[in-house]
Amino acid sequence: MSSSNITWHEGQVSRVERAQLLNRKPGLTIWFTGLSASGKSTIASALEQHLLHRGVSAYRLDGDNIRFGLNKNLGFSPEDRTENIRRIAEVSKLFADATNIAITSFISPYRSDRASARQLHQEAGIPFVEVFADVPVEVAEQRDPKGLYQKARAGEIKEFTGVSAPYEVPETPEVHVHTDRSTIAQAVEQIVAYLEANNLL
């Protein structure tokens, strides 16, 4: 339930001024999406490390980790998935507004939810870079480091993306990484090349 007794309190420091005072570029969000076991979290973690070693303030928000805290009250129904993404979109926007590069790693299976996350950033003037960690479901199942696909096939996990729940493939991601053909280093290099080409680093 939303409250009607609240008022937005505008700060005295703009996003651009904050970046100038901290001698940084303004922040942005890099939004990883893809099937479970697509390599999202692995690449996101490597990207975070790479950026930090370059002196860029970056912070990774991982789907599983967030469900231990902020979103621990959410399940995996379509409604809960949408709320999960709504919350992390708001959090990543705050990180980016504070001049960080927010790196999110969420399956985020629905195009409409990803579009809402993008719109939230666009309305705030914050760049939103969608990275599609693309892998055939057969390869994801072969990897299956958590044994989730096997459980889903056995009916032990309901509404599992790619098996019993849909994954809507991004139509125009800023970066499209084929994780069954690229190494982790190559994937990071591809993402960084995009950021550099668009003056985001």
Q: Which of 105, 112, 116, 182 is catalytic?
A: 105
37: three-class secondary structure by DSSP: coil
CA 4, CA 24: separation in Å to the nearest integer?
36
Q: What is the per-residue burial (b if ≥16 Cβ within 10 Å, else e) of 28-55?
A: bbbbbbbbbbbbbbbbbbbbbebbeeee
Q: What letter represents residue 17's amino acid?
A: E
Indicate if 105 belongs to the active site. Answer: yes
The two tokens of residue 122 are: 């666009």
Strands (E), the chain: 28-33, 58-62, 101-105, 128-134, 175-178
Catalytically active residues, by annotation: 105
